[in-house]
Structure 1
Amino acid sequence: MKVYLIAGELSGDKLGASLMQGLKALHEGPLEFHGVGGPLMETEGLQSQFPMEELSVMGIAEVLPKYFQLKRRIKECAEAAHALNPDVMITIDSPDFCLRVAKLVKAAGEIRTVHYVAPSVWAWRPGRANKMAKHIDQVLALLPFEPPYMEAAGMRCDFVGHPVVSEPVATTDDAHAFRAAHGLSDAPLALILPGSRKSEVSRLLPIFVPAMEALQQARPDLRFVLPTTGPVVEMVKEQVAGIANPPVILDPTGQDIEVFAEEKRAAFKAADVALAASGTVSLELAASETPMVIAYDVSPISRMIFKRMLKIDTVTLANLITDTRIIPEHLTEDCTVDNIVPSVLSVLEKPEAQLQIVRSTMEKLGRGGEDPGLRAAKAVLDGLK
């Protein structure tokens, strides 16, 4: 069985690796993996056509300078998939890139196409479901309320659960060990998560750094931990260097992937509060029961367009899944130091309000059930019958 996969960012790389593991466990006979992915997918046997980081771009203004390069990569992926003629092509998240590849592939033949992670048509651009139905046969949804949107457009859609529910969570002992290793003792600890993409970090750190300085003034005992990723680590180190009591930076460079993941999980568990970019990381925080404040901004052009198209009043997944608005968020023009700092201090003082919300989120996402990667693999194989 030949499978062509595309993932465009770290969260997609995780999904792809878990799906590949599921396919290995369920499929009898040889399996070939081709396409584009990151280090986790490469560990499972994929040799990426080009570095996945080339696709990790978000925001209209951020995409424009790389438009022609991305367009060339879209064509390259479609041609590679067509030449391979796989049993199935699975595109993972990154819809602006992946769905364009799927469109070209469908135009050239009858390869079965599966898109993993339903585009958030419930949030904005609802017409995307009808457009993608022309070249996507099946959707694998992470959120329990998504299948009806996809099915109404004519696609098969399987809710497979979110991978965060099956990922390891650090213990209290792990958290104590992390604090001891970094000389943090019993100090209140804030986790700073400005994102994994260069475009995100370059936009958010100039807000998060002065927020950290203001928080230190309000709470001199407060310490910070900032997990980062290889592509942005130097940028992060440079921008936080001037802070009076700089954060502990978790740098994956030169580390074993799993060792770094364990340290990051321990940091999540050890933290008393997190200031995080909007996205999947909010679910990782929910899994470790870490209270959070969400903040996010984009370029002025993207801001104007998104505000016109946004159909919901919160982008934080735990708020959406539980139909509450308990987790504070500061988006676009509200993403300011003056707004962020009081929210972080409030959550730090009264974290209990979020505990019930994050626990309910994990239940609704499938915690305690079958591994989402295995469920996704079952759905893919069932669709091939």
Structure 2
Amino acid sequence: MRLFLVAGEASGDKLGAALMAGLKSLVPEVTFEGIGGPLMEAEGLTSRFPMEELSVMGIAEVLPKYRHLKRRIAETAQAVIAMRPDALITIDSPDFCLRVAKIVKEAVPEQKTIHYVAPSVWAWRPGRAVKMARVIDHVLALLPFEPPYMEAAGMSCDFVGHPVVAEPRATVEQADALRETLMIGPRQPVVLCLPGSRRGEVKRLLPRFEAALKILGQRHPDLRVIVPTVRGVAAMVRDMTAGWETAPIIVETADDKRAAFAAADLALAASGTVSLELAANRVPMVIAYDANVISWHIIWNLMRIDTVTLVNLVSETRAVPEFLGPKCRAEKIAPALEALISDPAARAAQIAAMEETMRRLGEGGEPPGLRAARSVLKALAA
């Protein structure tokens, strides 16, 4: 079995790696080609070009790189057409992936196409599912309420859970060891600063996060800040934090990041998949996000929901506070962080919402990567 996979950002790299591991356990002779990051490369993929080239989000952010992205779309599509794999599996990054699938389907209508991560049509732009159905045959959904939306648009779809529920987590001993290595006392509060995995996000959010954490630090002088980051933006994060009043601790390795999540008391994070990673580790959080003013205006006017945080959506609560767009300001964010340190009720409400979120996403069941692999094989046999 030969498969062509395409992932365009860190969260997609995680999904792709879990899927690849699941497929290898079921079909040992499977081979992979395509585009992915370090996790997918570790599972046996040789990426055709650096995945980070595709980690662009927002209209204003994409425009300067449009010609280069268009070339990469054509190049990727032609590679699929030449290979004629058993399936093209695109993973999230719909602006890139679905354009690739469109070119492939036009050239080879019988090519099986599978997309991992259903578009959030329940949140905004419901017409995307119908448009996607023209080029995608089968969808692997991360959230339990998504399959009906995909099936109504004409695609087959399985809820496969989210890999976050099966990802390894650090033990208490590993968390304590990290604290000791970093010379953090057992009672010192530790906050994770998570400004995103895209360069545009980091550039926009990190200064605001710094300002909010500075306010929090005035009330908690012993506060320690840890910034877990990814390969594509690590150098930028180091440059941008070099002048911070209190130097944060930057961690890049998978083991250190897991230990940091286990050791943390709270987190300030950009909107996205990271909220589920925090939930899996039961780390209370504040979500803050902003985009280019043009992108934000368009997105906000199309929104059909009152929260973007996955923990809130899956648990059907609003336990996690959000500061989005114009509200993404340090003086608003800092009090919400303070509440997670000083208000036991606020922490307890979030922990309960996290427990329910993980239960609904399949925690304790078959690993989602394996469930996704079974769904792929079922789709190929249909």
In the alignment, which of 357, 361, 367 is matched to residue 357 of structure 2? 361
| Match of residue 214 from structure 1 | 215
Distance across 2 between alignment mates of 1:353 and 1:19: 33
Question: Which deviates the most, 222-231 or 323-332?
Answer: 222-231
Distance across 1 between alignment mates of 2:225 and 2:80: 45
| Match of residue 172 from structure 1 | 172
Distance across 1 between alignment mates of 2:250 and 2:184: 13
Distance across 2 between alignment mates of 1:75 and 1:374: 31
Distance across 2 between alignment mates of 1:267 and 1:151: 40
| Match of residue 153 from structure 2 | 153
| Match of residue 256 from structure 1 | none
- For structure 1, the 5+ residue unaligned runs are 253-259
| Match of residue 54 from structure 1 | 53
Question: Number of matched residues?
Answer: 376
CA contact (8 A) 2:10 2:230 kept: no
Distance across 1 between alignment mates of 2:291 and 2:45: 33
CA contact (8 A) 1:295 1:340 kept: yes
Identity of aligned residues (%): 61
TM-score between both structures, scaled by the size of structure 1: 0.96
| Match of residue 101 from structure 2 | 102
- 1:243 to partner: Cα distance: 2.4
Distance across 2 between alignment mates of 1:135 and 1:336: 40
Distance across 2 between alignment mates of 1:192 and 1:147: 33
- Residues 284-303 of structure 1 correspond to what in structure 2 (within 5 A)? 284-303=277-296
Question: Which deviates the most, 210-219 or 120-129?
Answer: 210-219
Give 3-state SS (helix, strand or coil) of 1:231's partner: coil
CA deviations on 1:150-205 (whole Å, 9 max, x unpaired) are 00001000000100000012222222111111011121111110111111100101
| Match of residue 113 from structure 1 | 113
Does residue 1:378 correspond to 2:374, yes or no? Answer: yes
- 1:238 to partner: Cα distance: 2.3
Distance across 1 between alignment mates of 2:353 and 2:169: 17
CA deviations on 1:312-347 (whole Å, 9 max, x unpaired) are 100000000011101001001100011100010011
- Residues 244-259 of structure 1 correspond to what in structure 2 (within 5 A)? 244-250=245-251, 252=252
- 1:242 to partner: Cα distance: 2.4
Question: Which deviates the most, 349-358 or 119-128?
Answer: 349-358
Question: Which deviates the most, 234-243 or 9-18?
Answer: 234-243
TM-score between both structures, scaled by the size of structure 2: 0.97
- 1:18 to partner: Cα distance: 1.1
| Match of residue 263 from structure 1 | 256
Give 3-state SS (helix, strand or coil) of 1:234's partner: helix
In the alignment, which of 279, 283, 295 is matched to residue 276 of structure 2? 283
Distance across 1 between alignment mates of 2:34 and 2:262: 35
Distance across 2 between alignment mates of 1:295 and 1:51: 28
Distance across 1 between alignment mates of 2:232 and 2:81: 31
| Match of residue 312 from structure 2 | 319
Distance across 2 between alignment mates of 1:235 and 1:25: 37
Give the ranges of 4+ consecutive aligned residues of structure 1 lying more than 3 Å apart after TM superposition.
Answer: none
CA contact (8 A) 2:37 2:51 kept: yes
CA deviations on 1:56-100 (whole Å, 9 max, x unpaired) are 001111111111111111111111000000111100000111011
- For structure 2, the 5+ residue unaligned runs are none
- 1:283 to partner: Cα distance: 0.3
- 1:239 to partner: Cα distance: 2.1
Structure 1 vs Structure 2 CA RMSD:
1.0
CA contact (8 A) 1:4 1:89 kept: yes
CA contact (8 A) 2:174 2:259 kept: yes
| Match of residue 90 from structure 1 | 89
Distance across 1 between alignment mates of 2:271 and 2:309: 7
CA contact (8 A) 1:92 1:117 kept: yes
Give 3-state SS (helix, strand or coil) of 2:106's partner: helix
Distance across 2 between alignment mates of 1:226 and 1:43: 24
Distance across 2 between alignment mates of 1:73 and 1:243: 37
- 1:23 to partner: Cα distance: 1.1
Does residue 1:205 correspond to 2:243, yes or no? Answer: no
Distance across 1 between alignment mates of 2:190 and 2:379: 47
